[in-house]
Amino acid sequence: MSGTRVAVRCGDCSFAATYDRLRDARTAVDDHESTTGHGVDWDIESLDAGVSRAGADAGVCGRPECANEDSPLVDHAPSEPES
Ligand SMILES: [Zn+2]
């Protein structure tokens, strides 16, 4: 796996960093949020746009309130039309 860059930026202080591994970025975000209580944004830059979308949809921190409810990856309810 290659070609992925994750830019992390805190909305509440000047904390910002770039990682080339999603796991490193997630660890840094979790650590900063748990330490400071700040809200950290991240942008996944990848050669594959689909990977970026999937990463964002997955939620940054794993808390339910962070999930993107508009995501097509989230199965809200059966979308099959009644027949
Ligand atoms: Zn911060």
81 Cα: distance to centroid of ligand 1 (angstroms): 46
Q: What is the pLDDT of residue 71?
A: 57
pLDDT at 45 over 90: no
> In this structure, what token pair is assigned to residue 4?
């992925």
- Taking the CA atoms of residue 62, residue 66, residue 72 and residue 73 in that order, the dihedral angle to the nearest 10 degrees is 0
10 Cα: distance to centroid of ligand 1 (angstroms): 5
Q: Which strand ranges, in their side-by-side order, compose the sheet holding 16-19? A: 16-19, 4-10, 40-46
Q: What is the pLDDT of residue 33?
A: 97
36 Cα: distance to centroid of ligand 1 (angstroms): 6
CB 29 within 8 A of CB 60: yes
- Enumerate residues with CB within 5 Å of ligand 1 (an ion): 10, 12-13, 15, 36, 38
Q: Which tens digits make up the pLDDT trace of 25-43?
A: 999 999 999 999 999 998 9
Q: What is the pLDDT of residue 63?
A: 54
Q: Which tens digits make up the pLDDT trace of 2-26?
A: 678 999 999 999 999 999 998 999 9
79 Cα: distance to centroid of ligand 1 (angstroms): 40
CA distance 73 to 20: 24
